[in-house]
Chains A and B, each alone.
Chain A
Amino acid sequence: MHKDFADFSIKYLGKIGASYAEARLEEESSNAFMLKNNISEISGFGESSGLGIRYILNKNLGFISINNFDKDKIKSIIDKSVSLTRNSSKIGEKTELSKDSLYKKKYEAGQKIKIADLKPEEKINLLKDLDKDVMSTNVKIPSRYFSLSDVINNKYFINSEGKEITSIIPRINLFYFLTIGSGKKVVQRYWQYGAVSGYEAFKKWNINEVLKNEVKNLDLAAKKGKKISGGRMDVVAGPEISGIAVHEACGHPYEADRILGREGAQAGESFVNCDSIGNKIGSEAVSVIDDPTIKDGFGYYLYDDEGVKAREKYLMKNGVINEFLHDRQTAAKMNLKSNGSCRTPSYNLEPIIRMSNTYIKSGNYKEEELIEGVKEGIYIKSFTEWNIDDKRWNQKYVGSEAYLIKNGKIAYPLIRPIIEITTPALYGSIDAIGKNFELHSASCGKSEPMAAVPVGMGGPTIRIRSIIVK
């Protein structure tokens, strides 16, 4: 690694008057494969490296990214940046960072089936087998698209306070997009599987069997499913839906930078205020956790991109707003210590507050028991279209694989039932939580330029009482 360039940058910034400086050196190796309608498309491999630098000068914040490892070039870019930052000070915000412990740490996420040990052909064959298996169901699937990528990220973080963190994180990521059926009875399913792991994750996902069942069930729903007449009813929602709901309507609004307006221009602000801690927002049954330390979670890390130690955080505890996600900037503004939620997907993007693995805490019920407790309602296993406003208040989830529940039993498949609901109405109506648990993966977008980070989201099956279904 070009560690000396990171060290040089910190020293040089100190010399020209920065009160704080940090450097993030990243080296990545990656592979990517695509299979479209059983034709192997372009394949990619590569190595990249770069340096992200952040500093405070006269209390103003500057960020630099460069991938040309030449000391004169680095020096000239730092000079350019410092000139812009000095000029900005006339209307610059006074940046403070919360205090944090000092340490030097190294960590690596393990791989059982190592990314480097699998040949490109073996990785393409994983996609070929998936295509073969979904086609073996005899369901009409006119368009099939699969992509698979892996990356090993080596990161070296240092700051002028003396902190030093080195990490190695492997990640694999599978995406599929299937068009199922024919004529007017066409449905589409797209989803992502990801993990901080080697290729053993592929087996753990049991993805071939999962996909075969999905296409059979969605084909049945397209052919035999009925449109729901709509009205107020109970909803039993599986881990995919509980996961997206906590990500969108609990994780995002509890990001302290949104609450303080720092993402106001694009990603938005929040319906939550600085003084909302302790307010009741949901039912007693609901607790929401964000935990970066879950081992193979897509949002795994042990130290964040400010070098702060990661930990489990209860965002919501028994329906009460408990803790926000913080970096060192927002923690300083709220007189707190950072809880290690600062991340960037790449050296060339500013580290900001991000979720990690966010989920609803499991309860005591079997999924069958949750369904048995519903006289008339719906069970949603997976979803398709969804969206939420920029204050995280008005949200919509459209069921993909979904069924009518009649007298505690699954009756028949439904065609895309819709939930359009506000955040307090959603969390206030959850009365029971399953003991099952699934952690799914996603890319979460925020900031401008757009910075998509890998996150985990999930939880158990939940039961939501008496809400409007369309």
Chain B
Amino acid sequence: MEKEIAKYLLKKLIEKGSDDVVISYVSSEAKQIKFVNNEIVKTGTEYLRSLNVFASLKKRLISTTLKDITKKSADNLVDNILNFSKNIRAKDDYYGIAKGPFKYKKIEDLYEKNYDDIDMVDLTVKGINASLENAKRASGILEGSNAKIYLTTSNNVELEYEGTHLYFSIRAFYDKESSGHKTVSGRTLKKFNVEKAGLEAGKVAKDAKNPIEGKPGRYDVILDPLASAPLFDAIGNSSSIFNVETGTSFFGNRLNKKVADSGFTMYDDPTYPDGLNSIPFDSEGYPTIKNTVIKNGVFKTYLHNTSTAKKYNTKNTGNAGLIAPEPTNILIDKGRKTREELIKNVKNGLYITNVWYTRFTNYATGDFSTIPRDGIFLIKKGNIEGSIKNIRISENMLNILNNLKEKANDIQQIRSWEAEIPVIIPSILVKNMRITGPVL
């Protein structure tokens, strides 16, 4: 029935003079386990649905939703859209949505066919028990969701899609001052190894015991994927042309200019198998493609939708976002060495396993700081020599990209509190990083 209402709304809005219309109906079921100190403290069960409408009437752009999915409500909504459109202003630099029909490529591993049978409690217990081999307690979350999307537009697009998502986050504690955090996330159970995450989190927690105060200075830093993901979330957002226009990008005026070490390449890849944001089409129904954003250190393209690509006379990268072009999955290819080999080549450095609270002084220049948390390890002459606490990375994003000199082979997909954009990345070595801390 929902599809019929969506089609009806599309037809009505076109009849009433809309230039462009995009309707999407999304229904999702989700389940969650929250555990604290080795016990489950809450289960979560969710069933949500929404029918979303984007309409352009003489370049007056409107976004709204249909509350009750009935024909009568749809008629009321059409009237409300028409009235609302008379009372707003045109977006003068709007140039339309993609014209279909299109062909779409299949992406592997986006749907777990055994989703309904996943034993959430059993997986949670396995993750906790693995962490307790080294740690004393663990807290975290296990989430699963199954979403169905129906998308139709005024430009010959009609699509249906179903995908599943899985996420496990575990923070293990050895004592009040030493903890380790790991996550695992994906679209299917194939690589969804909660026990590996639990075991690694527990090991980091134990290794991080008895931390001493860190000393400010310059260090060569190995960043674990969980620690670098929030930085690449910011780098991904900075790649959108919308962020350039709002002053929230450090890639403004840097097209075809060097922004990173010449060995560094970064993609936005919505076609990555098992990628959390992988999808064959964007919000306009335009087919998604793997885009090389930074190639051998040179910034190659901003992320665009149909309208912004026309505005800047460039190609559509398939990153709609109807309000703004958005990154999908940020991908950095793996290197050849193991993380341990990277550590062996560091004379005076740190191994940072997680960060949080990434905040900018100036988005246009890329000046920011972020706080390492969980295990932070001192590296002396290639060996880990104990753990430290109470430090801060106070740096510049472009400096970090230029000083990113090596990548390990431990590639991992990260979604976290501060990496809302999935980042697929191995451990990396950033030279000469500025570390600060509170002074008593």
Q: Give the interface of A toward B (CB within 8 A).
A: 32-34, 36-37, 39-50, 60-68, 73, 77, 80-81, 84-85, 87-88, 90-93, 95, 119-121, 124, 142-143, 145, 177-179, 186-188, 261-262, 264-266, 268-269, 348, 350, 384-390, 393-396, 398, 416, 420-422, 425, 445, 448-450, 468, 470
Among residues of B, the one whose C-beta sits closest to the C-beta of A52 is B46
Residue contact B390 to A264, C-beta cutoff 8 Å: no
- Kindly list chain B residues whose C-beta atoms are within 8 Å of the C-beta of A37: 245
Complex partner residue of A145 from B35, B64, B247, CB under 8 angstroms: B247
Query: Within the assembled complex, what's the spacing in Å between the Cα atoms of A50 and B65?
Result: 14
Chain B binding surface, main DSSP class:
strand
B342 on the interface (CB 8 Å rule)? no
Kindly identify which residue among A36, A40, A395 contacts B438, using a CB–CB cutoff of 8 Å: A395
Does A41 lie within 8 Å of B91, measured CB to CB? yes
Contact partner, A262, options B41, B84, B169, Cβ 8 Å: B41
Q: Identify which of B41, B64, B87, B92 contacts A61 (C-beta below 8 A).
A: B41
Q: Is the C-beta of B37 less than 8 angstroms from some C-beta in chain A?
A: yes
Q: Which of B50, B171, B359, B438 is most buried by chain A, counting CB atoms within 10 A of its CB?
A: B438
B31 touches A84 (CB 8 A): yes
B33 sits at the interface (CB 8 A): yes
By Cβ-Cβ distance, the 7 closest A-B pairs, closest first, are A143-B247, A179-B247, A387-B357, A81-B45, A40-B89, A264-B139, A42-B61
Given contacts A91-B40, A422-B440, contact A348 B48 (CB under 8 A): yes
Known A68-B49, A80-B45; judge A177-B359 contact (CB<8 A): no
B436 partner residues in chain A, CB cutoff 8 A: 396, 420, 470
List residues of chain B with CB within 8 A of the CB of A91: 35, 38-40, 121, 124-125, 128
Cα distance, A398 to B394, chains bound together (Å): 11
Q: Does B212 contact A (CB under 8 A)?
A: no
**B370 at the A/B interface (Cβ < 8 Å)?**
yes
Q: How far is the CB of A390 from chain B (nearest CB, A)?
A: 5
- Shortest Cβ distance from A467 into B: residue: B439
Check if B157 is an interface residue, CB within 8 A of chain A.
no
Q: Given the known A-B contacts A47-B67, A61-B42, A91-B121, are A388 and B365 also in contact in the complex, defined by CB atoms under 8 Å?
A: no
Interface residues of B in 365-383 (CB under 8 A from A): 365, 367-371, 373
B41 in contact with A416 (CB, 8 Å): no
State whether B43 touches A61 (Cβ < 8 A).
yes
In the bound complex, CA of A469 to CA of B248 (Å): 27
Can you name 30 A-B pairs with beta carbons within 8 Å?
A32-B63, A40-B88, A44-B62, A45-B84, A46-B64, A65-B47, A66-B48, A67-B47, A68-B47, A85-B43, A88-B121, A91-B35, A91-B124, A92-B40, A121-B87, A188-B364, A261-B36, A262-B139, A264-B173, A265-B141, A265-B181, A350-B44, A385-B360, A385-B368, A387-B371, A398-B361, A420-B392, A420-B437, A422-B390, A425-B440
The answer to whether B44 and A420 touch across the interface, beta carbons within 8 angstroms, is no
Report the minimal beta-carbon distance from B290 to chain A, rounded to whole angstroms: 28
Provided the pairs A88-B121, A120-B88, A425-B438 are in contact, do residues A63 and B42 lie with their beta carbons within 8 angstroms?
yes
CB pair B390 A77 closer than 8 Å: no
Instruction: Give Cα A385 to B87, complex, Å.
Output: 37
Q: Which residues of chain B (54-104) have a CB below 8 Å from chain A?
A: 54, 60-65, 67, 80, 84, 87-93
When each residue 343-370 of chain B gets 1 if its CB lies under 8 Å from chain A and 0 otherwise, what string results?
A: 0000000000000111111111101111
Contacts of A95 in B (CB 8 A): 41
The CA-CA distance from A393 to B373 in the complex, in Å, is 12
Cβ A384 vs Cβ B31 within 8 A = no
Q: Report chain A residues within 8 Å CB of B360.
A: 188, 384-385
Which chain B residues lie closer than 8 Å to A41 at the CB level?
A: 61, 91, 323
| B: contact size bracket | 35 or more
A39 and B120 within 8 A (CB): no
Which chain B positions have C-beta within 8 A of A93? Answer: 36, 39-41
A145 to B371 CA separation, bound complex (whole angstroms): 28
B361 surroundings in chain A (CB, below 8 A): 188, 384-385, 398, 416
**Across the interface, do A60 and B43 meet the contact criterion of CB distance under 8 Å?**
yes
B198 interface residue (CB < 8 Å to A) = no
Q: In the complex the two chains form, what is the Cα distance from A429 to B87 in whole Å? A: 53
User: Measured between C-beta atoms, what is the minimum distance from B306 to chain A in Å?
Assistant: 14
Select from chain A the residue with minimum beta-carbon distance to B55: A42
Q: Whole-angstrom distance between the alpha carbons of A63 and B141 in the complex?
A: 14
Instruction: Give chain A residues whose Cβ lies under 8 Å from the Cβ of B31.
Output: 80, 84
* Residue on B nearest A67 in the bound complex, by CB: B48
B5 within 8 A of A: no
B residues 115-153 touching A (CB-CB < 8 Å): 119-121, 124-125, 128, 137, 139-141, 143
In the complex, the answer to whether B67 meets A49 with C-beta atoms within 8 Å is yes
Q: A50-B48, A68-B49, A394-B390 are in contact. Are A92 and B88 (CB under 8 A)?
A: no
- Since A68-B49, A188-B363 are in contact, a sample of 16 more A-B pairs with Cβ atoms closer than 8 Å, ordered by chain A residue number, is A43-B88, A44-B64, A45-B62, A48-B67, A60-B40, A67-B48, A87-B119, A90-B125, A179-B364, A188-B362, A261-B137, A348-B46, A390-B371, A393-B390, A394-B392, A396-B438
Provide the residues of chain A in CB contact with B88, threshold 8 Å: 33, 40, 43, 120-121, 124
